[in-house]
């Protein structure tokens, strides 16, 4: 499995959705992806290149650009290439399609990203907090402007 081949095939199949692809080494590829195309891209990866293992999914907050990035690390059980896909979301209304239908273990990663960053996953089977208590929902503690617990910016400050 060659990193350059994967990138070539991806950009041919999705010319408008795969942006700024880069090969960092022969086992690490990274690319931006259009947020509406994430499910189709993942499906293509799963069927064509045996990317059958979602290694990690997380959010990153960029308040300066008013963006939240959702980062997917997609790996495989049979080859060592790890593909990093990043989708840019608007920070005020972050929404993206869930990939639970393709990768079963995305379920908890998405619940975690939801409670920590406020990213809303569409078509997620059971979107509710995983680690935090329910009354902290809406604080989004891993965003950069979070001010500690109890949150000074919290809506329910007594």
Partner 1 sequence: MEQTIAPSEMLLHLGPQHAIQPGPYLLDLKLRGETVVDAELEMGYIHKGIEKILENKTYFQGITITDRICYLAALTNNEVFCNCVEKLVGIEPPQRAQYIRVIMEELSRIQSHLLGIGEFSTDLGFVTMFLYMIREREEVLSLIDMVTGSRITHSYLRFGGVREDLPEDFAERAMSVLNEIKKKLDEHEDLYNTDKIYLQRTVGVGVLTAKIASDLGVSGPPLRAAGVAFDIRKNEPYLVYNDLDFKVCTEKEGDIFARIKVRLDEIRESIYIIEQAFDQIPQGPLFPVGTPYGRRTPVMRVPAGEVFCRVEDPRGEMGMYMISDGSDKPYRVKIRGPVFPTMQALPPLIKGTYVADVAAIAASMDGCTSEADR
> Can you give the binding site for partner 1, defined by CB under 8 A?
27-28, 30, 52-56, 58, 60-61, 71, 73, 75, 77, 79-80, 82, 84, 103-105, 107-108, 129-133, 141-142
To partner 1, the closest distance from the beta carbon of 4 in angstroms equals: 18
Residue 28 or 120 with smaller CB distance to partner 1: 28
Residue 19 or 131 with smaller CB distance to partner 1: 131
| Structure-token match 């975690």, residue found | 112
To partner 1, the closest distance from the beta carbon of 34 in angstroms equals: 20
Task: Classify 148 in phi/psi space as left (phi over 0), alpha (psi -120 to 50) or beta.
Answer: left
To partner 1, the closest distance from the beta carbon of 56 in angstroms equals: 4
Residue 16 or 25 with smaller CB distance to partner 1: 25
**DSSP codes joined into one string, 38-72:** HHHHHHHHHHHS---EEEEEEEEEETTTTEEEEEE
The C-alpha atoms of residue 127 and residue 141 are separated, in whole angstroms, by: 17
The C-alpha atoms of residue 104 and residue 106 are separated, in whole angstroms, by: 5
To partner 1, the closest distance from the beta carbon of 105 in angstroms equals: 3
Residue 23 or 60 with smaller CB distance to partner 1: 60
List the one residue out of 72, 55, 50 whose CA is nearest residue 121.
72
């Amino acid at each position: 499995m060659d990193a350059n081949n994967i990138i070539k095939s991806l950009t041919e199949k999705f010319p408008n959705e795969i942006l700024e692809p880069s090969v960092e080494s022969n086992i690490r590829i990274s690319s931006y992806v259009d947020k509406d195309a994430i499910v189709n891209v993942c499906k293509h990866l799963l069927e064509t290149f045996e990317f059958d293992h979602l290694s990690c999914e997380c959010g990153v907050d960029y308040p300066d650009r008013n963006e939240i990035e959702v980062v997917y690390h997609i790996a495989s059980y049979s080859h060592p290439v790890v593909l990093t896909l990043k989708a840019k979301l608007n920070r005020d209304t972050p929404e993206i399609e869930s990939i639970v239908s393709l990768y079963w273990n995305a379920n908890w990663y998405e619940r975690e990203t939801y409670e920590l960053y406020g990213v809303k996953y569409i078509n997620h089977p059971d979107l509710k907090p995983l680690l935090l208590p329910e009354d902290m929902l809406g604080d989004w503690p891993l965003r950069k402007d979070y001010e500690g617990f109890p949150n000074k910016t919290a809506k329910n400050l007594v």
